[in-house]
A and B are shown apart, each in its own frame.
Chain A
Amino acid sequence: METDELLINMGPVHPSTHGVLRFKLIMDGEIIRDCKVVMGYLHRGTEKLAEMKTYLQFIPYTDRLDYIAAMPNNYAYVRAVEELAGIEAPLRAEYIRVLTMELNRITNHLVFMGSLLLDLGASTPIMYGFREREKALQLYEMLCGARMTFSYMRVGGVREDLPEGFIPRLNEFIKDMEMRIVDYEQLINDNEIFLLRMKNIGVISAEEAINYGMTGPSLRGSGVNYDIRKLEPYSIYPDLDFKACVRKECDSYARYLVRIDEMKESLHILKQIADTIPAGEIITTQKYGIAPVTGAPTSVMPYFPRIFTPPEGEVYTRIEAPKGELGFYVVSDGTTKPYRVKIRSPSFCNLVAIPKMVVGLKIPDLIAAFGTIDVVLGDVDR
């Protein structure tokens, strides 16, 4: 019988491309013969915008990259500028930063879990995931008034101190989450259908994964024992007790399990921080930049410069964001605006491997593999 190949444009508007991504699929019946990724539908020119804003004005734009987990974006940029200018944040500020970032890792993985299961056809876990995420978002709201786009970090510290009653509520959240993760594991991990859909799907070996530029949990699912928090420790991570979660199976299921394990590790980190957070300043006392015209620094309104000129130079800083390695390449020419900001986003680089993973599989497998890569289109398109 004569058959013909079918071109399917999956996206840019499709229920399971997590936004506006488009797959150009050449199909032979149900089997994918070729897969091309088309993106850019959410491109906002963030890197160009950076060249037109001052160093501080650019912080809110970083929130809009990976809007599911915005705090690490804030931090990566702020840290790049701090390294460039040689500023160090006080210890309490670093503790608060790590606290918010780890909390964000949990919310990110909750969304990941929910949307992955939703892509597979189970519509309940996303509601459970969002129920817990809501509690974390309320914590954020308490902290900085925003739920998703925080703009909370500043060069040399954070915007505001922890509000009263934050730590007890955080402890409550941790206790609740620990129970819930057990629930999720019982509900999802051993589900026969889930295993059928996840095991041996989207397999990528460790060498290939590295070659294709995969990072973060997706790479750890391929058995590479790597975590920037461990390899190039930054902030207070050297003082904390946690481990990099690694799985050897290289398939979608391993990538899923890594993220579930990471949630537990993050909870462990949060617990340590809640117990040991020191008192002190939340913004550096080192005077940099030009002070605001009115008012002296107080505990409520600390000292934030509006205009700030780091010395000439360039720096590449990378951190372990929930989705992988997030890097900022910042070039300063000694003026108030960055000369060039290059964002190395984890979603973009992890997506490179998708065609490699799915050729020869079927559309449902593409969705499963794509779900376990965990991309956000704001981060891909920038």
Chain B
Amino acid sequence: MIANAYELIVNILTAIGIYEPVYGFFQSFGLEYLLRIIIVVVEIVVLLVFVLLSVMFLSWLERKMFGWVQSRYGPMVTGPHGLFQPIADGIKLVGKEDIIPASADRWIFTLAPFIIFVPALLVFVPLPFGDTLILSDLRMGLIYIIAISALSPVSILLAGWASNNKYSLMGAMRAVAQDISYTIPLALAAIAVVLYVGSLSTVDIVRAQEGTWFGIIPRWFIFMQPLAFILFLIASIAEMGRIPFDFQESEQELVAGFFTEYSGMKFAMYFLGEYAHLFAVSGVVVTIFLGGWTGPVLSPIPVQITSLVYFIIKTYAVILFAMWLRDTVPRVRIDQLLNLGWKIMIPLALLNLLVTSFLLTARVI
């Protein structure tokens, strides 16, 4: 049984007959661990490249979709249908002057963009892209994901404070208030699923969703836990800080919120971080509620490929939903959002948890 991507690589290398001689070569120097390090580095590089390409594609897709909804074309000039627009944007941003305001706290101001980008990438560690396509199947994977996601307001607060700008500070304060009130329903909604699965491992959660009811309805948790799914989705969008919950940067009120003072590459880091976060959170939603990589097996094709395709399709469906939401609705007010979080979503999540645990104890489900 292959557990993660490392073992998968070893298996493939063994099957084509490369692994043994290479392993023997390293063994002769007593450096087996070096081979293991190389394989892990390759995994990380592949993941990074995949994420960065996805982020670039997403930024193009977002603008394109914005265009379609608004009855215009969106980017059209650079490349076919403006496909190279993200590259042009990247070059432009790298070429820009990196301004640090005179009254800003230089160190924290420089550090903050990196702190937002790193957690967005770390979420990918226990995220199963497909059958066995996972960096590490952590036993407390779900807790890890929620904990890492909760790091982003720290970076936003650092950025807002270090900028020494009133709009930035207000944006940062909003982000923190918003995040505290939305991590709780997020975790509570996820725990209802965990109760049923009996494990925090993301792989176990996906495996529990394999198969179908009556041969047609897939056993996804969206059907078993619809309320939890809705709560989790709303909380995720709030976590991502997208319209209708984009208070940290709400353009029309706070100019650009916490990154008002940023320019050039640091601004690009926020931009990348935002889309990496969008991808990661959508992946988590798919993993927990939409059956992760599960789908019909097409026997001649390796299950790794089909499962990866299923996962990507589902993730993009969630991403497109988030983008569609951004294109259509206005922004709610910060106090209305907090009201929604504390007075409606947390009680509902608790109720959902209560009902789920009751039914589980009574062995109804």
A367/B70 in contact, CB under 8 A: no
Residue of B nearest to A366 (CB): B253
How far apart sit A193 and B333, CA to CA, in the bound complex (Å)? 9
Question: Which B residues are in CB contact (< 8 Å) with A365?
Answer: 333
Are B334 and A364 within 8 A (Cβ)? yes
Q: Quick one: CB contact mask for A48-59 with B, threshold 8 Å, 1 for yes?
A: 000000000000
Q: How far, in whole Å, are A119 and B250 apart by their CA atoms in the complex?
A: 10
Selecting from B284-292, B323-331, B352-360, the interface stretch reads B323-331
Asked if B336 is an interface residue, CB under 8 A from chain A, the answer is yes
State whether the Cβ of A117 lies closer than 8 Å to any Cβ in chain B: yes
CB distance from B185 to the nearest CB of A (A): 19
Partner of B166, one of A8, A191, A367: A8
A121 adjacent to B335 (CB under 8 Å): no
Once A30-B170, A121-B246, A124-B70 are accepted as A-B contacts, the answer to whether A193 and B330 lie under 8 Å apart by CB is: yes
| Chain A residue, CB-CB nearest to B72 | A127
CA distance A294 to B72 in the complex (A): 49
Most buried by A among B170, B254, B328, B330: B330
- Asked if B69 is at the interface (CB within 8 A of a chain A CB), the reply is yes
> At the interface, yes or no: A271 with Cβ under 8 Å from chain B?
no
Annotate A106-130 by CB proximity to B: 1 below 8 A, 0 otherwise. Answer: 0000000000011111111001100
Collect the chain A residues with CB atoms within 8 Å of residue B334's CB. 30, 362, 364
B residues near A363, Cβ cutoff 8 Å: 170, 253-254
| B252, CB-defined interface residue at 8 Å | yes
Is there a chain B Cβ closer than 8 Å to A197's Cβ?
yes
With most chain B CB atoms within 10 A of its CB, the pick from A118, A120, A121, A364 is: A121
Look across to chain A and name the residue whose beta carbon is closest to the beta carbon of B329: A193
Q: Which residues of A contact B250 (CB under 8 A)?
A: 121, 364
B220 to chain A minimum Cβ distance, whole angstroms, is 27
A30 to B329, CA, bound (A): 23
**What string of 1s and 0s marks CB contacts (under 8 Å) between B312-346 and chain A?**
00000000000000011111111110000000000
Partner of A120, one of B166, B254, B330: B330
| Cross-chain contact B243 with A6 (CB below 8 angstroms) | no
Residue A205, interface by CB 8 Å? no
Which of A6, A16, A191 is in CB contact (< 8 Å) with B252? A16
The answer to whether A362 touches B335 (Cβ under 8 A) is yes
B244 CB-CB contact with A under 8 Å: yes
B71 and A127 within 8 A (CB): yes
Which residue on B lies nearest to A116, using beta carbons? B330
Within 227-262 of B, Cβ neighbours of A (below 8 Å) are at 243-244, 246, 250-255
Specify which chain A residues have a CB less than 8 angstroms from the CB of B332 in the assembled complex: 193, 196-197
Query: Would you give the shortest CB distance from B263 to chain A, in whole angstroms?
Result: 16
Contact status of A194 and B330, CB under 8 A, knowing A127-B72, A131-B71, A364-B253: yes
Contact A197 B70 (CB under 8 A): no
Which of A30, A121, A362 is close to B330, meaning CB atoms less than 8 Å apart? A121
Residues of A contacting B66 in the complex (Cβ-Cβ under 8 angstroms): 123
Q: Is the CB of A121 within 8 A of B252?
A: yes
Residue of A117, A124, A127, A365 most packed against chain B (CB within 10 A): A124
Least CB distance, A68 to chain B, in whole angstroms: 19
Least Cβ distance of B344 to chain A in Å? 13
Residues of B within 8 A of A194 (CB): 330
A292 interface residue per 8 A CB criterion: no
**Complex CA distance for A122 and B325, rounded to whole angstroms:** 10
Whether B329 pairs with A122 at a CB distance below 8 angstroms is yes
A367–B250 alpha-carbon span in the complex (Å): 12
In whole angstroms, what is the CA distance A364 to B174 when docked?
13
Q: Enumerate B282-321 residues with CB–CB distance to A below 8 Å.
A: none
How far in angstroms is the closest Cβ of chain A from B11?
49
Complex: A191 Cα to B333 Cα, angstroms: 14
Do B166 and A117 touch (CB < 8 A)? no
Smallest Cβ-Cβ distance to A198: which chain B residue:
B330
Chain A's nearest CB lies how many Å from the CB of B244? Answer: 6
Residues of A within 8 A of B170 (CB): 30, 363
**Are A121's CB and B244's CB within 8 A?**
yes
Shortest CB-to-CB span from B251 to chain A, Å, is 6
B69: chain A residues within 8 A (beta carbon): 124
A15 at the interface (CB under 8 A from B): yes
Q: Which of A183-203 contact B (CB under 8 A)?
A: 191, 193-194, 196-197
- Is A14 an interface residue, CB under 8 A from the partner? yes
Contacts of B330 in A (CB 8 A): 117, 120-122, 191, 193-194, 197
* Contact B253–A127 (Cβ < 8 Å): no
Q: Is the CB of A362 within 8 A of B70?
A: no
Q: B333 near A196 (CB under 8 angstroms)?
A: yes
With A16-B252, A364-B333 as known contacts, state yes or no: A121 contacts B72, CB within 8 Å.
Answer: no
Complex: A74 Cα to B332 Cα, angstroms: 40
Nearest A-chain residue to B69, judged by Cβ: A124
Shortest distance between the CB of B25 and any CB in chain A (Å): 58
Note all chain B residues with C-beta closer than 8 A to A362.
333-335
Q: How far is the CB of A220 from chain B (nearest CB, A)?
A: 24
* Interchain CA distance A127-B332 in the complex, whole Å: 21
| Bound CA–CA A117/B251 (angstroms) | 13
| Nearest CB in chain B: distance from A254 CB, A | 18
Complex Cα distance A309/B243, Å? Answer: 59
Name the distance in Å between A69's Cβ and chain B's nearest Cβ: 23
| Alpha-carbon separation in the docked complex, A363 to B334 (Å) | 10
A121 touches B331 (CB 8 A): yes
CB distance from B248 to the nearest CB of A (A): 13
- A128 and B252: CB pair below 8 A? no
A70 and B70 CA atoms in complex are apart in Å by: 27
Contact partners of B71 in chain A: CB under 8 A: 127-128, 131
Task: Give 12 A-B pairs besides A30-B334, A193-B329 with Cβ atoms closer than 8 angstroms.
Answer: A15-B255, A16-B253, A121-B243, A121-B244, A123-B66, A127-B71, A191-B329, A191-B330, A196-B333, A196-B336, A197-B330, A362-B334
20 CB < 8 A contacts A-B: A6-B166, A14-B255, A119-B252, A120-B330, A121-B244, A121-B250, A121-B329, A124-B69, A124-B70, A127-B70, A127-B72, A128-B71, A131-B71, A191-B330, A193-B244, A193-B331, A363-B253, A363-B254, A364-B333, A365-B333
> Which chain B residues have a beta carbon within 8 Å of chain A's beta carbons?
66, 69-72, 166-167, 170, 243-244, 246, 250-255, 327-336
Query: Which 6 residue pairs are nearest across A and B when measured between Cβ atoms?
Result: A121-B331, A127-B70, A120-B330, A122-B330, A16-B252, A121-B330
